Chains A and B, each alone.
Chain A
Amino acid sequence: MSPGHPTDSSVSAAAPRETFVLNVGPQHPATHGVLRLKLTMDGEYVLHAEPVIGYAHRMHEKMGENRTYVQFLPNPSRIDYLSAMHYMHAYVCVVERALGIEVPPRAEYIRVITSELNRIASHLVWFGAFLLDLGAFTPLLYAFDDREKILDLLEAVTGSRLTYCYYRFGGLCNDVDEQFIEGTRAFVKHMRGRLGMYHKLVTENLILRKRLEGIGVISAELCRKYGATGPVLRGSGVPCDVRKLEPYSVYPEFEFDVPHFAEGDCMARYKVRMEEIAQSLRIIEQAIAKLPPGPVMAEKVPRVIKPPPGDYYFAVEAARGRFAIRLVSDGTEVPYRLKLRTPSFSNLALFGEAARGLLMQDALALLGSLDLVIPDVDR
C-alpha cells in the first residue's frame, strides 16, 4: 500500500470532499462478463462499491420446476460453465440421494478424475484472465494452451469441450478408455513441469507481487458473515473444503491437503489456487492408480425418476467454492423446487465491504482474485 493510502476513518473524516460515481460495466473487460459496479470514488480511492447483478439471469431455478429430472441434466453445466463437472456432480448426487441409488465405485472414481481435471482447467482460465486484468498478456496464452490439453481429454470421453453432460443418475453415460488413462497420466506429468514454469514466470515476478501482496485483505470473519467459500475463504486462513469437511463421492480415499494461507490478500488467493492445481494433480494420480474395474452405471436406476417427497440437500466443492442444491420433491417427475446455492454469489456479496478504501486498480485486482463467473452469480 502506498504511504498516502487513506484509512476508512480518514476518508470519511476529511469532509467536505468532492466525490463522483464511476460506472463500471455491464460491458467492461475487467468485470469478466456482465457485472456492473457502481463505485463512489474520491479521486482514485473507492469510497463505496455496489455491484449490480442480474444481467445474465437465465432462470435456471424456474427451469428446474418446468421440466423432468432428466430434462434438467444439461442445465447445471451451464450455470458455472467453467466448473461444469462439479455442478453436474452436485445435481446427480442430490437426485441419487433422494432415490437412494448406490453408484458403482468405478463411476465414482471417474467422476473424481474428471472433476479434478475440470478444476485444473477452471483455475487455468482464472490464472490467464486474472493476469490479463493485471496487464500481463503472455500467461493467458500458456494457460489456455495447457487447458486445451485437458479439454482434449475430456472431449474424448464426454463429447463436449465446455458444458459437459457426462454424469447420469447412477453413474456415467460411458466408460473411459485406455487412451484417456494414458493421456491423463501424461498430462499430470506435463502439468507438474508447467506449474514450475508458471511459478518462475509469474509468481516470483516483482510487479505481480507489488500488485497483490497486502492488497484487498479479506478477514475470515468477513467470509463467515457473507458465506464466502472456496479459495476466497481458504485465502483467509480457514482450511474449509467440502471435499474434506463433508466428504462426498470417494474423496476420503485420497490423500490431499487443503491449501490455505492466513494473509487474506490477493496474493494468498492466488497461491491457494496455484497450490490447488498441484493438489488436484495428486488426487488424479491416486485415482488413476486405484481405478477399479467394473460397471459405470448402477443396475437399479428407475426409468422414470420420481424421488420420494421430501427435502434433500447436497453440497460439493466446485472450483469457486461451495455449490449446493436444495431439492424439494413432491413425488412427481418434476422437481417442486430446485434451489441453487452458487459460490460466486456469496463471494461477490462481500466485494462492497472489502473494496472500501482501495485504489481503483487494487479494487479491480480484488475483483479478479474473487474469480467470478457472472452467470454463476445470476443463475
Chain B
Amino acid sequence: MNELIEQLKSAYAVLVVPARADTQAAAVPAVVQPTDPERRGCHLEVTVTPAVVVDAAQVANRFGFAIDTITGIDWPEAGQMEVVYDFFHPQHRLHLVVRTRVPRDAPALPTIQDVFPGANWHERETHDFFGIKFIGHPDLTPLLLPEDADYHPLRKDFTNVSRSSN
C-alpha cells in the first residue's frame, strides 16, 4: 500500500509542464501532497496545471484507478474555478485527488474522456453547473439541465432563472 503511494508520488513528480521560450513561462511541476485519510478521506492530493490533466489521468489509469467523479468549485474572490478529479482504486484502499484551477472568466481545460470514457458525463455535468468548457469533449449539451439551458446554477453569482410560466 505505502509502496504504491510512493510509486504514485514519483509518477506524479515527473509530471512537469515544460518551460516555454515564447512566453517565458517557467516550468511548473505537479505538487504532490500526501493527506491523512482519517481526517480528509483521501490519501494523495496532486495539484497540476490544466494543461497536464490528461497526463495526470493517464497516470491514474496506468495504476489501475477507476474514475470516481469530477466536479467544479467556484472561487470568485480568487477569480478562479477549481476542477477536482477523484479516483478510487478497486483493489486497494487508496483514494487519489487531482486538482487544477482555471481562470474564472474563461474556464477551459482539456477533456480526459479519451482516458476514462466515464468522464464524459461527469464533464458534461460540470459544464452544466459551472460553465467550464472541456476542450475536445464531443458533446457539451446540458445533461441534467433542460436541453436549452444557458445558465450555470452552481456558480456563486447565479441568482435566478427567469421562466415564463407556460
- How many residues on A have C-beta within 8 angstroms of the other chain's C-beta atoms? 44
Using CB atoms, name the residue of chain B closest to A61: B154
Are the C-beta atoms of B118 and A313 separated by less than 8 Å?
A: no
Are the C-beta atoms of B144 and A226 separated by less than 8 Å?
A: no
Given contacts A240-B91, A339-B71, A349-B121, contact A324 B145 (CB under 8 A): no
Are the C-beta atoms of A233 and B144 separated by less than 8 Å?
A: no
15 A-B residue pairs with Cβ-Cβ distance under 8 Å, sorted by A, are: A62-B153, A223-B90, A224-B65, A224-B66, A226-B117, A227-B88, A227-B118, A240-B91, A246-B95, A310-B40, A311-B40, A315-B88, A322-B68, A324-B86, A337-B73
Tally the A-B contacts, defined by beta carbons under 8 Å: 104
Kindly state the interface size class of chain B when it binds its partner. 35 or more
Counting from the closest, the 9 A-B pairs by CB-CB distance are A313-B41, A226-B118, A54-B144, A341-B69, A227-B67, A224-B66, A240-B90, A339-B71, A57-B144
Other-chain contact of B41, A57, A97, A322, A378 (Cβ < 8 Å): A97
Given contacts A61-B154, A313-B42, A328-B73, contact A349 B118 (CB under 8 A): yes
Are the C-beta atoms of A62 and B154 separated by less than 8 Å?
A: yes
Other-chain contact of B144, A65, A312, A339, A379 (Cβ < 8 Å): A379
**A53 → chain B, closest Cβ, in Å?**
6
Mark contacts of B135-149 with chain A using CB atoms, 8 A cut-off: 1 yes-contact digit, 0 otherwise.
Answer: 000000011111000
Helix, strand, loop or mixed for chain A's interface?
Answer: mixed
A228→B120 CA distance, assembly (Å): 14
Chain A residues proximal to chain B, CB less than 8 Å: 53-54, 57, 59, 61-62, 65, 94, 97, 100, 220, 223-229, 233, 238, 240, 245-246, 310-315, 322, 324, 326, 328, 336-337, 339, 341, 345-346, 349-350, 353, 378-379
**B130 → chain A, closest Cβ, in Å?**
10
